[in-house]
Amino acid sequence: MNDIERCISLFERKAKLVALLAPSFPVAYAYPLIVARLKKLGFMAVLEVSAGAVKTNEQVIALLKKNPHARFISSPCAGFVRMVRKDFPQLVPFLAFAADSPMIATARIAKEKYPDCQPVFIGPCFAKKLEATEDYPDLNILVLTYRELDAVFERFKIGEGIDATGAAFDIAAAKTRTYPFDGGLTQTSGLKGLLKDEEIRIISGYKRLPAVLEEFQRNPKIRFVDVLFCDGGCINGPGIISTLSLEERKKKVLDFADG
């Protein structure tokens, strides 16, 4: 059974499902129509994963304050974490796992607010499936890409022609809506107020990552590397079907973030 079939089966069995919608969603869907469609599908609540990103930021800042001489590499990007484990195992101890990724932090919020629910993360990323099943199986998160969500919408014949009046996130967070761009964590967490510019490296795009990781190993002054595996960040994740350029995708997210 693949994840599309798994999700369809959960709806058919009337499972208590909570949708966790990744911050890149404006590239693929209009708001608030997407919330109305998800509710019509049967989700009991729809949470903005930006809410979990607020927790991630708090945990990263707390980690750096608590360990003023330690050095960290960000860990919210599931694709990057897997690359480090495979190609740079000596850097695994530097991954900031004490901070939950936004997906994991939002799943914890969902479990707290809606006990017995199953979280369904909807985003642009296939690697998140591995993060959910290999690293956090206890949270029982089903991960769907936007492409897969479209297949579920199609199965239940839920198109865009429905009334979205009054639809809204059940839990929202505006300040972290730029998280899916390269440097999103640094920009939204206040990291620059804590570390000097020369102590931070911001990078996206898997081809550029090895050079930065090698610099991190050579230069002990670098205290934090903020990394996203996909070029430009999650707005360019493989689970998005879009003909938009990177700039056009960024604008969609910024327009939503600006309200």
The answer to whether the CB of 125 falls within 8 A of the CB of 239 is yes
Residue 183 touching ligand SF4 (CB under 6 A): no
Of 230, 250, 252, 253, which lies in the binding site for ligand SF4, with binding defined by CB under 6 A? 230
Of 47, 96, 125, 253, which lies in the binding site for ligand SF4, with binding defined by CB under 6 A? 125
Residue 152 touching ligand SF4 (CB under 6 A): no
How many CA atoms, within 13 angstroms, populate the side-chain half-sphere of residue 22?
31
- What are the structure tokens assigned to 35, written together? 């919330």
Query: CB of residue 230 vs ligand SF4: minimum separation in angstroms?
Result: 3
**Measured in whole angstroms, how far is the alpha carbon of residue 5 from the centre of its chain?**
23
Instruction: Work out the angle at residue 105's Cα, subtended by the Cα atoms of residues 103 and 108, and round it to the nearest 5 degrees.
Output: 110
Residue 79 touching ligand SF4 (CB under 6 A): yes
The answer to whether the CB of 150 falls within 8 A of the CB of 239 is no
The answer to whether the CB of 124 falls within 8 A of the CB of 23 is no
Residue 203 touching ligand SF4 (CB under 6 A): no
Query: CB of residue 77 vs ligand SF4: minimum separation in angstroms?
Result: 3
Residue 26 touching ligand SF4 (CB under 6 A): no
Length of the chain: 259
Residue 142 touching ligand SF4 (CB under 6 A): no
Residue 32 CB: number of other CB atoms within 10 A? 16
Looking at residues 237 to 256 of the shown chain, list those that interact with ligand SF4 (rule: CB under 6 A): 237
Query: CB of residue 78 vs ligand SF4: minimum separation in angstroms?
Result: 5
Interface with ligand SF4 (CB under 6 A): 77-80, 124-125, 127, 228-230, 233-234, 237
